């Protein structure tokens, strides 16, 4: 079998999760993303000037994801914990359960993971088109028993723990939206009132796959975009990718003209052109 090996850092739309208490700027962050479409499941965006749909079932969510028009560059799930309730309802309907806990021993929550997997695959389909995905969620406080030290409390995404692992593993960036506080030399806590997104782990889940990312950024999406532009992989722009595809089309066999038509139709879509370039490169290597 011939392996399709790629080298170096790769550029792709991000999978972002922002979670925290209500009113700390999660939806405002997402509203600042490029051309966002909100899947507003919990009807929480009325104060924002954004485009939105209001799916009321899990199937409507999947249908909406598959029908996102090409002029939207970001899809926002608002919120993932509200969507979890729709997923549980879908699973209960499938198996004839009254509640997700009806089968006992956590079997209902385990069954829901398959549906979470379907959701994430659908969202990856958007990313293949060059669409960024932002998941918003609420936080819940959980007491952690620490066998090697003091017990502590932790802020977690407010969905079932089995699903937390699946969702957080899928995400490239997890930010905990918080109100900034500082500890002075006398160990007194001062609340500054500034809204921030924490990207470094602490008494909360957080991560950022960009090497050198700061511990906190503001809740303005422009701060995230600036950080990514500085630290992330530098992708070819659409014009460069289009030109590279045209050069390869001169040497590969395209008797039906479908490859050329696909490249022409996506001449401004960097993500689609990146995939086309990989395929054309492979074809050129076989000729």
Strands 152-157 and 74-78: unpaired
In sign, the C-alpha dihedral spanning 11, 13, 19, 25 is: positive
The CATH class given to the 15-231 domain equals alpha beta
145-201 pLDDT tens trace: 777 777 778 899 999 999 999 999 999 999 999 988 766 666 666 767 789 999 999
Select from 95, 21, 85 the least CA-distant residue to 55: 85
Q: Which residues pair with 198 in a beta bridge?
A: 176, 216
**Integer angstrom CA distances of residue 202 from 20, 55, 154, 155:** 13, 34, 8, 9
pLDDT at 8 (0 to 100): 52
Looking at residue 199, the DSSP 8-state letter turns out to be: -
Asked if residues 198 and 148 have their Cβ atoms less than 8 Å apart, the reply is: no
Return the minimum-mean-pLDDT range out of 5-14, 16-25, 113-122, 239-248: 5-14
Mean pLDDT of 12-38: 92
pLDDT at 183 (0 to 100): 66
pLDDT-derived band at 88, boundaries 50, 70, 90: very high
Strands 36-40 and 74-78: parallel
In sign, the C-alpha dihedral spanning 213, 214, 217, 222 is: negative
Which uninterrupted H or E stretch holds 152?
strand 152-157
**Integer angstrom CA distances of residue 145 from 148, 154, 155, 190, 206:** 9, 11, 14, 27, 20
**Domain ranges, ordered by start, for the chain:** 15-231, 238-286
pLDDT-derived band at 262, boundaries 50, 70, 90: very high
Which uninterrupted H or E stretch holds 155?
strand 152-157
Mean pLDDT of 122-133: 93
Mean pLDDT of 72-78: 96
pLDDT at 12 (0 to 100): 74
Which uninterrupted H or E stretch holds 64?
helix 58-66
Between CA 287 and CA 283 the distance in angstroms is 6
Mean pLDDT of the chain: 88
Asked if residues 64 and 39 have their Cβ atoms less than 8 Å apart, the reply is: yes
Return the minimum-mean-pLDDT range out of 56-65, 102-111, 245-254, 263-272: 263-272
pLDDT at 253 (0 to 100): 87
228-256 pLDDT tens trace: 888 876 656 778 888 888 998 988 888 89
pTM: predicted TM-score of the whole model, two decimal places: 0.78
pLDDT-derived band at 76, boundaries 50, 70, 90: very high
pLDDT-derived band at 283, boundaries 50, 70, 90: confident
pLDDT over 90 at 274, yes or no: no
Between CA 218 and CA 132 the distance in angstroms is 19
3-state secondary structure of 174: strand
Q: How many helices (H) and strands (E) does the chain have?
A: 9, 10
pLDDT at 184 (0 to 100): 66
208-225 pLDDT tens trace: 988 899 999 999 999 999
């Amino acid at each position: 079998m011939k392996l399709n090996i790629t080298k170096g850092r790769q550029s792709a739309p991000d999978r972002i999760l922002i979670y925290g208490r209500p009113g700390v700027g999660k939806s405002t962050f997402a509203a600042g993303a490029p051309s966002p479409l909100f899947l507003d499941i919990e009807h929480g965006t009325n104060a924002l000037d954004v485009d939105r749909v209001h799916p009321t079932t899990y199937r409507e969510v999947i249908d909406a994801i598959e029908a996102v028009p090409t002029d939207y560059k970001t899809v926002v799930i608002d919120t993932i914990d509200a969507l979890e309730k729709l997923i549980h309802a879908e699973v209960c309907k499938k198996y004839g359960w009254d509640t997700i806990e009806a089968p006992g021993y956590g079997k209902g929550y385990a069954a829901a993971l398959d549906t979470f997997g379907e959701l994430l695959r659908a969202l990856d389909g958007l990313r293949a088109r060059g669409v960024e995905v932002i998941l918003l969620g609420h936080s819940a406080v959980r007491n952690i028993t620490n066998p090697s030290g003091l017990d502590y409390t932790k802020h977690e995404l407010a969905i079932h723990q089995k699903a937390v692992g699946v969702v957080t593993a899928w995400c490239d960036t997890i930010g905990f939206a918080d109100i900034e506080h500082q500890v002075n030399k006398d160990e007194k806590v001062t609340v500054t009132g500034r809204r921030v997104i924490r990207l470094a782990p602490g008494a909360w889940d957080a991560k950022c796959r960009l090497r050198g990312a700061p511990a906190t950024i503001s809740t303005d999406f422009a701060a995230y975009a600036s950080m990514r532009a500085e630290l992330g992989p530098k992708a070819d722009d659409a014009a460069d990718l289009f030109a590279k595809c045209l050069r390869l089309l001169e040497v590969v066999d395209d008797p039906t003209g479908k490859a050329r038509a696909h490249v022409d139709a996506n001449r401004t879509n960097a993500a689609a052109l990146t995939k086309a370039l990989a395929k054309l490169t492979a074809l050129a290597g076989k000729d």
